[in-house]
Amino acid sequence: MTTFPLVHPPGSSTIHTVYRAVEQFQRWLEPTIEGPAPLPPLDAFVLHLLIDFCPESVFVADLACDATSGSTSVVCLANPLARRVAAATSDAPRRIGGAGLSRILEEFAIENFDQRRPDCLLPLGSSGSSSSIDSIRRALSPHEVPFFIIDAANFERAGGWRIEQILGELPGALIVVIDVGKVGDCAAAQRLVGECRNDSPYRLWRMAETSESLSKSRVCLIAGRRHPFADLLVNRIDRYFTTNFDFLDLVRDSCCYSLEKGVSERLDLEILQLRESLESSRQEIRLLREQLEIERAAPQSLLVLPAQKALRFARKHRRFFAPANSRREQACRAVMHRLRKWRSKAA
């Protein structure tokens, strides 16, 4: 299988290069047990840019790993500015044979990322664990930004994550919420907007509202109102997608990704058809060989078997057909000698 480099220097990535790592991880999962859909390409690119535009390296706490089949962790691992990624996963098997998502992610990280950043993937336990924030605080380095990724469904259910639960303990943290719908249609969106009112200490940015080209994005960013660079981070995303040349680059990248995916699918289909055609040809060759063996054996059975029967009958009645020292005996011996020669040549 053809592989591509999965780690890209800051500023050099595009939609299809970022999502290439996700696609390779989806193939790594095979044979997989059906699970949640991975992060969409546009949201994966937005997540990559949020890390890319941070002025300092980030420590990612991926609490949405299970909800995205590991794709959020893979996007972060592919960005060198995410020095470490702590993935919160359950023990449920995700591959036929019993392997869980944490084990599969660990294998993928060792194969693709550990050579550049040893121990870049850290376990975080269950995404609903109350000790997750304490674990992250202890693991943080002085110049790392805590970067939380949370699925919107966690804010819908009772007992889920709360903004103050994270930012109250880690005021400098950034929270990225994925799969957030419109306010009128999504309970999580309504709750987030309510918690980030104008009089609250927290602020909410919806990526879909920053630029027309991001209207399909379902990613939100949450930070404290006094965060040193969160507003600058969103402004950089806004400029990136509204500048004419950057927008054209985005369109080009989207088209390239679609073309690349279409060509790949067409090649896979052609390879499958060629394999089926080769298998059919092999089956025909086997049948022809069997038929040839049968046809080769037929003359031998038609000639040798009757001759053997005649020889046994002649031996039984030898005194009548070929008395001793007679010309008939000499003729029979000559015939037997020729038959032995013919059989030795046929063998």
Geometric angle at alpha carbon 123, from 119 and 128, rounded to 5°: 155
pLDDT number for residue 64? 92
pTM for this one?
0.68
State how far the Cα of 4 lies from the Cα of 163, in Å rounded to an integer: 38
What's the token pair of residue 192? 């987030």
pLDDT number for residue 183? 84
Mean pLDDT of the chain: 82
In sequence order, what are the beta bridge partners of 206? 220
Residue 41: partners with Cβ closer than 8 Å, 6 or more residues away: 15, 16, 18, 19, 22, 254, 257
What's the token pair of residue 13? 């990535």
Identify the structural domains of the chain with CATH numbers, from first to last.
15-242 (3.40.50), 317-347 (no CATH)
Of 73, 74, 107, 78, the residue nearest 88 (C-alpha): 73
Mean pLDDT of 23-32: 83
pLDDT, tens digit, 9 for 90 and up, residues 142-157: 889 999 999 999 888 7
Low-confidence winner among 16-30, 282-296, 312-326 (lowest mean pLDDT): 312-326
pLDDT beyond 60 at 303: no
Q: Please, what is the end-to-end C-alpha distance for the chain in angstroms?
A: 48
pLDDT, tens digit, 9 for 90 and up, residues 238-284: 888 876 555 666 667 777 777 777 777 778 788 888 888 888 888 88
How sure is the predictor about 317, in pLDDT bands with cuts at 50, 70 and 90? confident
pLDDT beyond 70 at 72: yes
pLDDT number for residue 40? 94
Mean pLDDT of 117-133: 67
Q: Is the separation of the CB atoms in 204 and 177 below 8 Å? A: no
Q: Is the separation of the CB atoms in 343 and 335 below 8 Å? A: no
Residue 119: partners with Cβ closer than 8 Å, 6 or more residues away: 84
Low-confidence winner among 59-68, 176-185, 212-221, 299-308 (lowest mean pLDDT): 299-308
State how far the Cα of 127 lies from the Cα of 88, in Å rounded to an integer: 5
pLDDT, tens digit, 9 for 90 and up, residues 274-300: 888 888 888 888 888 888 887 776 665
Mean pLDDT of 197-219: 91
Residue 200, helix vs strand vs coil: coil
Mean pLDDT of 2-28: 73
State how far the Cα of 277 lies from the Cα of 241, in Å rounded to an integer: 48
- What residue has token string 């009757």? 306
pLDDT beyond 50 at 225: yes
In sequence order, what are the beta bridge partners of 203? 223
What's the token pair of residue 222? 């949450």
pLDDT number for residue 2? 41
Mean pLDDT of 331-335: 79
How sure is the predictor about 329, in pLDDT bands with cuts at 50, 70 and 90? confident
State how far the Cα of 251 lies from the Cα of 244, in Å rounded to an integer: 11
Of 188, 161, 183, the residue nearest 173 (C-alpha): 161
pLDDT number for residue 316? 74
